[in-house]
A and B are shown apart, each in its own frame.
Chain A
Amino acid sequence: MTLHAITVLGHDRPGIIAGTTARLAGLGLNLEDSSMTLLRGHFAMTLVCSGAADEAAIATALAPLGEDGTLTVTVREVPAEQPATSDGSPWVLTVHGGDRTGIVSTVVGEVASAGGNITDLTTRLAGDLYLLVAELDLPAGTDVDVLQASIGQVAADLGVVATLRPAEADDL
């Protein structure tokens, strides 16, 4: 039993997910985690599936998807990763403001410097408005006030607004 990471990128149309997953099911593969969205209108999907089929068999089965040249499919075997657990705390970082180069790299650079790990990230450009929303884990002992100040400083230098707030879920 092996794990494969598959990406499908390209021109969006109805039926891409249905076509992809039907071919994977035909190989007896089990879809585990997947994520799909539209990025500037481009179809973008990444999925991890498990099963006995090898990389070549999967690539062959998915090849028809890319035949018209509008979709690019990649297949790569990946090792099993242990689910991340942390003694830290989850946070949501939101950054928005006028579009310019370097917003993401500068702000997330501060997160990385603090040892923070980004676990989910979305950025959107809507007209002149640039938006970043990230989920991050901060290690235990992080001085959040210091991190907030440093993010606030680089955000101010970029002319954008950044907020960092706890993302702890309420257990019910």
Chain B
Amino acid sequence: MSDDRVTAWSEDELGVSGRVLPVVRAPEPVLATVGEDVDPTSTETVQLAADLVATMRVSPGCVGLAAPQVGVSARVFCVDVSQHPKARTHHGTFVLCNAEVVESSRNEKAREGCMSVPDLTGDVKRASRLVVRGQLPGTGESVTVTTDAFEARALQHEIDHCSGLLFLDRVAGAHAVYARTTYL
């Protein structure tokens, strides 16, 4: 049921226009700061949710964006992996507040990049089966998202941002970080 609700959600529900915000880059301290819990029904959170979606939409190849990446230390992020070839299960565009991982299993290693660390990529092991609980901005409904594969990876990457963690904090080893030579 929760999954259907999340799939049905769109930023139109927020009722405000999103603004495209600048994306901050490491070593900006906000990226290494644990985000604050938010009130998902507050006007600030609703505007932040709309801004995150708007910023994600205009960023080439971007499938997720967390509040710390736009300089706001808060536990809010958006994702949309629906157009990504590695996605299996997906829930379209959605924003979660105060999200946490409830269940995770089947770790798989893959190479990740991040708009906030534009010059490096790294191999990171993440669960490929995932259950996440969070709240929708606006209504504040509690929802549970059950997903897999690429959406699971994206959710864990964004939840990490909300906890002040970058993929660099999880790379598989000293030789699992690479200088990026091609950019989107």
Contacts and interface: CB of A to CB of B under 8 A. Distances in A.
Interface of A: 36-37, 83-90, 119-120, 122, 135, 137, 167-172
A127 B174 CA distance: 24
A170 B86 contact: yes
Contact of B113 (A37, A86, A172): A172
A167 B182 contact: no
Contact of A37 (B64, B122, B175): B175
Given A86-B182, A87-B182, A120-B178, A172 B111 contact: no
Contacts of B110: 170
Determine chain B's interface SS by DSSP, over half rule: mixed
A137 B181 CA distance: 8
Nearest to B65: A172
B75 interface: no
Contact of B153 (A36, A90, A135, A170): A170
Given A169-B121, A171-B63, A119 B114 contact: no
Nearest 6 CB-CB pairings of A with B? A169-B121, A169-B113, A172-B157, A169-B111, A86-B181, A171-B113
B115 interface: yes
A130 to B, nearest CB: 18
B178 A135 contact: yes
Interface string B143-184: 000000010011001100000000100000011001111111
A88 B178 CA distance: 16
Interface in B53-71: 61-64
Contacts of A87: 182
A120 B179 CA distance: 10
A144 to B, nearest CB: 15
A171 B178 contact: no
Contact of A83 (B64, B112, B179): B179
A120 B111 contact: no
A135 B111 CA distance: 13
Contacts of A83: 119, 179
Interface of B: 61-64, 84, 86, 110-115, 119, 121-122, 150, 153-154, 157-158, 167, 174-175, 178-184
B62 A171 contact: yes
Given A88-B182, A120-B175, A120-B178, A167 B64 contact: no
B163 to A, nearest CB: 15
Nearest to A135: B178
Nearest to A87: B182
B153 A84 contact: no
Contact of A172 (B64, B181, B183, B184): B64
A119 B121 contact: no
A85 B181 contact: yes
Contacts of A122: 175
Contacts of A89: 182
A122 B174 CA distance: 13
A157 to B, nearest CB: 29
A96 to B, nearest CB: 17
B179 A119 contact: yes
Contacts of A84: 179, 181
A122 B150 CA distance: 29
B112 A172 contact: yes
13 contacts: A36-B174, A37-B175, A85-B183, A119-B179, A120-B175, A135-B178, A137-B182, A168-B182, A170-B63, A170-B86, A171-B114, A172-B63, A172-B167
